[in-house]
Chains A and B, each alone.
Chain A
Amino acid sequence: MTTFDETSGMVSPAQEKRRGQGFEGHWALVWRKFLRHRLGVLGGIIVLLAYVVAAIPDFLAPVTLEAYNPAYAYAPPQQVHLGVSTEDGWQFRPHVNAYKTVVDYNSGRRIFTADPESIIDIGFFVVGEPYKLFGFIPAARHLFGPVEVGQPFYIFGADRLGRDILSRTIYGARISMTIGLLGVAASLVLGILIGGVSGLFGGVVDNVIQRLIEFVQSVPAIPLWIGLAAAIPRDIPPLQVYFFITIILSVLGWTSLARVVRGRFLAMRNEDFVKAARLDGCGPVRIIFRHMLPSFLSHIIATVSLAIPGMILAETALSYLGIGLRTPIVSWGVLLQEAQNVRTIASAPWLLLPGVAVVIAVLALNFLGDGLRDAADPYAD
């Protein structure tokens, strides 16, 4: 039973958990509230996994980016079987079937069917093609893949050059997931700088910046992106293209962050506890970093995580149109370039599978952002 302490007016500590007692700080409360948001947690886990994938694609993908085999152009996805039936009954033996190929002379295309007789065993931690982990640690183990190197292994199907779409999608995460992060980081710097200036100075400066933000927000983004992207010279190295695209994305992306920062700054400036800090004699630096920033950092994190999906979608769209990233860089948008028209898709719908990766990543980031936004103010409710 909980009792009521009449002198202090407080619920007595013996029965209540420590949380009610105010021993927990802001971040502990935010974390607790976030954990209550199931979808947010699920999204967070998926996002985390996606970034793990982005960090070590070479290990996770069955084959490297360069691997191709024209013999398996447009090979459909193989079905993964978990075991085989033998005389001794069912036996665990994960495998896929090899292809039987028939050439259709009318269309000139090969038609692939599964060959139940020929079994390609799937192994874990198999030795496959060599790669350099993080770009410098030589390795050859892959999380999974055909036990025998070089056997056809296309569980997501193959593209027109017989490249494994699964491996390429895994590699695509590296670019697609980071370009969002990088774009948002750039936007964040711009947003905090401009929003902070706007909120701090107020008056005419604030007014000018607000009109600018309103204006930028009212410009249709995609045509402008297209315009800017088309202006990237065609003959520069891929890495530079990557950075150009990042900059283009953040040119329009900073506005919402700037708004959040400014709004918080203005609201915070009139909070009583900030006034009290001023009266305590805190200088502006201390007020900003000790009192104001911690108070809206969680809001900024939430806004950031909600801004990343937009960047990912934009990169995908630009690359798909052929004015964003280009091969040899592999992003999900670049992969989707393969699916240029309905007829190609109709004959090889698995070319859209990298799109599924986009959808999952964006969904997860949205869930995460929603959860973070709800948790950002743990004192409400």
Chain B
Amino acid sequence: MENLVEIRGLRITFAGAVDVVQGLDLDIPAGKTLCLVGESGCGKSVTAKSILQVIDHPGRVSGGSINLRQTDGSVLDIAKTKPTSPLMRQVRGGDIAMIHQEPMSFLSPLYTIGNQISEALMLHRKISEKDARAEGIKMLEEVGMPDPARRYDSYTFQLSGGQRQRAMIAMALINKPRLLIADEPTTALDVTTQANILDLLGELQRETGMGVLFITHDLGVVAEIADEVAVMYLGKIVERAPVRELLENPKHPYTKGLLASMPRLDGDFKAPLKAIPGMVPPPALRPAGCSFHPRCEWARKDMCGHVAVLETDLGANHMVACHAYGPQAHKFSRVSKVVDVGAPVAVAKKAVGKPLLSVRNLHKHFAIRAGFFQRQVGAVRAVNDISLDVFPGETLGLVGESGCGKSTLGQTLVGLHRADSGEVQFADIDVRAAKGAEAKQLRTDIRMVFQDPTGSLNPRMRVRDIIGEVLQVNGNHSAAEIEEKVQGLLARVGLSPDYAERYPHAFSGGQRQRIAIARALASDPKLVIADEAVSALDVSVQTQIINMMKELQAELGLTYVFVSHDLGVIANISDRVAVMYAGRIVELGETDQIFRNPRHPYTEALLAAIPGRGARKTGARIRLTGHVPDAAKPLAGCAFADRCRYVTDACRVNVPELRGEGNHLDACLRSEELKLRSVSQTEALVSA
């Protein structure tokens, strides 16, 4: 086996002489998939771009070499090649091609995808427009684009997210490159679409024998697609190994930390997670010595903070850059603390007693208006006949793919939208009819945490005023009372009390989310609705927040409705889970029931799509094709029917109701007769 690209001592500098990447060594093997893993801000993307010399101004490669082995055996040092030279242009798109995270912004909306695909071809081959079109359509077919001849003339905004990514893959592969760089190509996609794209990339890699450099922050995706893995932290590779070795036998404390903070879906998925403390510092503040040492539980101040780390070869292709494995290894005990989440969270609460929140037949439709007089011409049924109970002290997870109505449901419950019909009962209050004192009580008892911690804090207000506003507006609280409350809340969410004086712009994403949580708690609420509250955060910060929310729940006896698209997070935090599809709940049950014994085919497909589920491999995989039905069009029968592998004629006629015994409900006409695969059963099971 030989390496396609060998990077040595790579240094990438941005304006102000900040080295984002410093002395990076990386070998990219031919014919294999190498995953580059790390949190955001580690320099993964910019490293990938440097291989094509397409780093945006003001960044530039300022040292080191990037040696590309050419087909004739000669070696080209890309770092020394002029970015605008014909030689470099030949490499780009010809030898090495790239796909990106957001195909919507990486493809121009002004040209058809066909135009942009054939452009790639014509730049590298003398070919007539007609032939280029034929090849482009063929390529689209190979990447699984439905109706390729028609899609060839489509614009990006006429395609779905998955189709756009397929178009981008077609554009990259049309010249049969020897190396494909994939920069988080599935991060923006729904989990079922992600599964399809990962399958496709794996297939194409095997068929063409090209090398793939796959960049991701998600270790699940790594398990799914990688042959080898390189873990990157602050511009350096800290560990590298074949995928199985790295996942099962990680050495570097950063790798261990990443693995420990990832919600797992094997074993006890409710087990508390262990977070890496802190966050990735900006490259300008790169710590001396080992750059990971401030966050490392093994770190020895006398050594890690001063002495630069060297790579240690552990044999069997396993390399690690950590003092604990170097010449001074004997000084390190290499014992990691056991998870230190103090709260007693292991016992799942039972849904018993009188529900705190009770929802019956809730509908929320958004009117579609058109024309000068804004007549209503239709309605998007965002929330469609939803009934559920939330019991005191529990966490109810709402999960589903984008557009399924889970956020709308959350926002309707908290009062941001006015429901069209149905009943909502909170404690003894009829929520939809509440006025005056009752409305005020609802405002203080039901609170919300938003997804985007930047947008949800008013940048013009001090942290104190943000957190204290709900107290100012509701009831008589003196300034001193509010101050005391704010100080207490800040301490509670792990922030220094003097932050009260400051404005939000100086805080990191994780800290802002802590502030947002403090605001939600300011009125001593009973119910907190968290709308994708950890989705915008990096994995280690995400885990910190999840752990904190669990602790707060245990201390304050809070009830959560936790809305998320991330099944791992949902499994970890929820006592019960509601799976939503096209505005309806398709399955509702205890977390174990949902994940270990799914009854609805959509739940089964969702679980099967979670990356890293055992299956490199074989047998009948469950993959969803097609799209969620248009919520503006009237629908007969089950909304999932068109994508369901167990569909019968009856499914298209009868609307399934949410029903079942005990706590486990589903909305599938055939749930009795089907035997579905669960998340922990890695071996393929044959369905009934």
Contacts and interface: CB of A to CB of B under 8 A. Distances in A.
Nearest to A4: B281
Interface in A252-281: 271-273, 275-281
Interface stretch (B49-57, B447-455, B668-676): B447-455
Contacts of B505: 22, 29, 379
Interface in B408-451: 414-416, 440, 443-444, 447-448, 450-451
A210 B505 CA distance: 35
Contact of A280 (B374, B455, B473): B473
Which interface residue of B414, B502, B504 has the most chain A CB atoms within 10 A?
A: B502
B448 A6 contact: no
A23 B503 contact: yes
B496 interface: yes
Interface extent on A, as a size class? 35 or more
Interface stretch (A7-15, A160-168, A176-184, A233-241): A7-15
A108 interface: no
Nearest to A293: B460
A24 B444 CA distance: 30
Nearest to A271: B455
A46 B416 CA distance: 48
Contacts of B470: 280-281
Nearest to B373: A204
B204 interface: no
Contact of B501 (A9, A23, A26): A23
Interface in B486-507: 495-496, 499, 501-507
Interface string A217-251: 00000000000000000000000000000000000
Contacts of B541: 9
B448 A379 contact: no
A279 B456 contact: no
Interface in A20-77: 20-26, 29
A8 B504 contact: no
A288 interface: no
Contacts of B443: 279-281
B473 A276 contact: no
A29 B541 CA distance: 28
Interface string B648-682: 00000000000000000000000000000000000
Nearest to B506: A22
Contacts of A280: 443, 469-470, 473-474, 519
B459 interface: yes
A294 interface: yes
A72 B546 CA distance: 86
Contacts of A26: 459-460, 503
B279 interface: yes
Contacts of B504: 22
Which interface residue of A26, A281, A295 has the most chain B CB atoms within 10 A?
A: A281
B355 interface: no
A270 B516 CA distance: 17
Contacts of A109: none
A127 interface: no
Which interface residue of B285, B448, B495 has the most chain A CB atoms within 10 A?
A: B285
Contact of B447 (A2, A8, A22, A279): A279
A328 interface: no
A277 B470 CA distance: 8
Contacts of B503: 22-26
B502 A6 contact: no
Nearest to A278: B416
Contact of B374 (A3, A29, A204): A204
B511 interface: yes
Interface string B503-527: 1111110110000100100000000
B378 interface: no
A225 B458 CA distance: 43
The main secondary structure of chain B at its interface with chain A is: loop
A22 B511 contact: no
A279 B374 contact: no
Nearest to B294: A6
A291 interface: yes
A203 interface: yes
A26 B495 CA distance: 22
B457 interface: yes
A211 B371 CA distance: 13
B414 A25 contact: no
B277 interface: yes
A275 B508 contact: no
Nearest to B455: A272
Which interface residue of A3, A6, A204 has the most chain B CB atoms within 10 A?
A: A6
A207 interface: yes
A203 B374 contact: yes
A175 B534 CA distance: 58
B501 A4 contact: no
A4 B443 CA distance: 39
B287 interface: yes
B506 A21 contact: yes
Contacts of A6: 277-278, 294-295
Interface residues of B, number: 50
B454 to A, nearest CB: 9
Nearest to A270: B455
A9 B538 CA distance: 13
Nearest to A2: B285
Contact of A272 (B279, B452, B460): B452
A272 B456 contact: yes
A211 B510 CA distance: 44
Given A23-B503, A276-B456, A379-B505, A7 B285 contact: no
A294 B440 CA distance: 26
A286 interface: yes
Interface string A177-210: 0000000000000000000000000011001000
A282 interface: yes
Contacts of A279: 414-416, 443, 447-448
A338 B508 CA distance: 63
B278 A7 contact: yes
A294 B511 contact: no
B295 A273 contact: no
B450 A275 contact: yes
Given A23-B503, A204-B373, A9 B460 contact: no
A22 B507 contact: yes
A9 B510 contact: yes
Contacts of A23: 501-503
B462 interface: yes
Interface in B288-325: 294-295
A278 B416 CA distance: 8
A206 to B, nearest CB: 9
Given A7-B278, A204-B373, A291-B458, A281 B440 contact: yes
A11 B280 CA distance: 11
Which interface residue of A10, A280, A379 has the most chain B CB atoms within 10 A?
A: A280
Contact of B450 (A3, A20, A207, A272): A272
Contacts of B295: 6
B507 A10 contact: yes
Interface string B79-99: 000000000000000000000
A295 B456 CA distance: 13
A9 B458 contact: no
A283 to B, nearest CB: 8
Nearest to A24: B503
A335 B519 CA distance: 61
Closest 4 CB pairs of A and B: A22-B506, A22-B502, A272-B456, A6-B294
Given A4-B281, A6-B277, A26-B503, 6 more contacts: A9-B510, A23-B501, A273-B457, A279-B443, A279-B447, A291-B458
13 contacts: A4-B278, A5-B278, A7-B278, A21-B502, A22-B504, A22-B505, A29-B505, A204-B374, A207-B372, A273-B455, A278-B416, A280-B470, A281-B473
Interface of B: 277-279, 281, 285, 287, 294-295, 369, 372-374, 414-416, 440, 443-444, 447-448, 450-452, 455-460, 462, 469-470, 473-474, 495-496, 499, 501-508, 510-511, 516, 519, 541
